Amino acid sequence: MGRRRDLAGQQEQLSAATWSVLAEHGLAGLTLRAVAERAGCTTGMLLHTFVDKRALLAHARELLHQRTGERADAAASASADPIEALRAVLLQAASITEEKREEARVWIGFLAAALADPVLAELHRRYNRSFVDRIGRLVAAACPDRAPAACAATATTLVALVEGLNTLAAVDPGTYSDEAQQSAVDAALAPVVPVRLNRR
């Protein structure tokens, strides 16, 4: 049991180091040595925990998916109705805090790696489709009279908007400020759901 706990702790520590290096230096700066130095360990220990850079990236992406999923669950649970829940989940996925902008930079780095790696690309597709499905369910709950195909199309559009905002805000937070991102989400939602959202 102790070994499993140690392995989980090492994986979490190394994934956190991976996030940090990716956020600061991008994919080009993500080397095993840089991650090991950031984690305060040797490259040997890193390779003992993860067999290669792909495994390290995959685990970091899995933790990011888990973290954002838990945050989406909490945002939906705290909402008063399905419409509010849809907006809250979209905004929790947007880069409206420094922590989320760091996550966006990590996501971009992972996506860049996935372009040349079919295993990472499949992982990305799976997690992205999971998010689209979540938004689709929220759209269906907020718009019960909308046809399933229309809900799915709307979900794809909303996810594309949020992920586009994340990507752009990662390098230009001045133009894509917190307020600009919230306004963009609200503008996209206006034709979809009745305007009775609690805008802050």
Phi, psi of 10, rounded to the nearest 5 degrees: -65, -45
Q: Quick one: fold of 53-189?
A: Tetracycline Repressor; domain 2 (1.10.357)
Please give the share of the chain, as a percent, with pLDDT higher than 90: 50
Ramachandran region, residue 40 (left: φ > 0; alpha: ψ -120 to 50; beta: rest): left
Cα angle, residue 110 at apex, residues 86 and 66 outer, rounded to 5°: 45
Averaged pLDDT for residues 27-43: 89
147-178 pLDDT, tens digit per residue, is 999 999 999 999 999 999 999 998 898 999 99
In the chain, which ranges are continuous DSSP H helix?
Answer: 2-25, 32-39, 43-49, 53-77, 82-93, 98-114, 118-142, 148-171, 178-189
**3 compared with 141, residue with greater pLDDT:** 141
pLDDT at 171: 85
| Range with lowest mean pLDDT among 56-65, 70-79, 87-96, 123-132 | 56-65
Averaged pLDDT for residues 93-114: 86
Q: 153-191 burial string, b = 16+ CB within 10 Å, else e?
A: ebbeebbebbbebbbbbbeebeebebebbbebbeebbee
Averaged pLDDT for residues 183-188: 95
Sequence spans of domains, the chain: 53-189
Contacts of 81 (CB under 8 A, 6+ apart): 142
pLDDT at 51: 87
pLDDT at 194: 64
The pTM (predicted TM-score) of the whole model is: 0.85
**Encoded tokens for 135:** 């938004």
117-152 pLDDT, tens digit per residue, is 999 999 999 999 999 999 999 999 999 999 999 999
**104 compared with 158, residue with greater pLDDT:** 158
pLDDT at 70: 94
| Range with lowest mean pLDDT among 4-8, 109-113, 174-178, 190-194 | 4-8
pLDDT at 101: 84
